[in-house]
Amino acid sequence: MDDASMVGLMGRVTGTIGPGLVGEVMVRVRGGAEHFLAYAADGTARIECGTVVMVVEHLPPRSVYVTRAYDS
């Protein structure tokens, strides 16, 4: 049960992330898939639903900062 393991996990956007919006990502963690409130790591990117992202920061309890996993 090490929460630090969240960083570096891959997730999928289920609620659009953007400035002024609170997004949502599903991340496989603790043997299941949980959703976390998500924010863009650089603060200005807009990430649509379905995009694969990587968690770069985890703020307990349920907030993560993400960035695009693949440059597109």
CB of 71 to other proteins, least distance (A): 26
> Of 37 and 56, which CB lies nearer to other proteins in the complex structure?
37
CB of 24 to other proteins, least distance (A): 6
The Cα–Cα gap between 69 and 49 comes to 13
Phi, psi angle pair for 30, to nearest 5°: 55, 40
User: CA–CA distance from 14 to each of 1, 2, 4, 67 (Å)?
Assistant: 25, 24, 22, 14
CB of 20 to other proteins, least distance (A): 8
The Cα–Cα gap between 61 and 36 comes to 9
**Residue 63 touching other proteins (CB under 8 A):** yes
**Residue 22 touching other proteins (CB under 8 A):** yes
- Residues in contact with other proteins by the rule CB under 8 A: 1, 3, 15-16, 21-24, 30, 32, 34-35, 37, 60-63
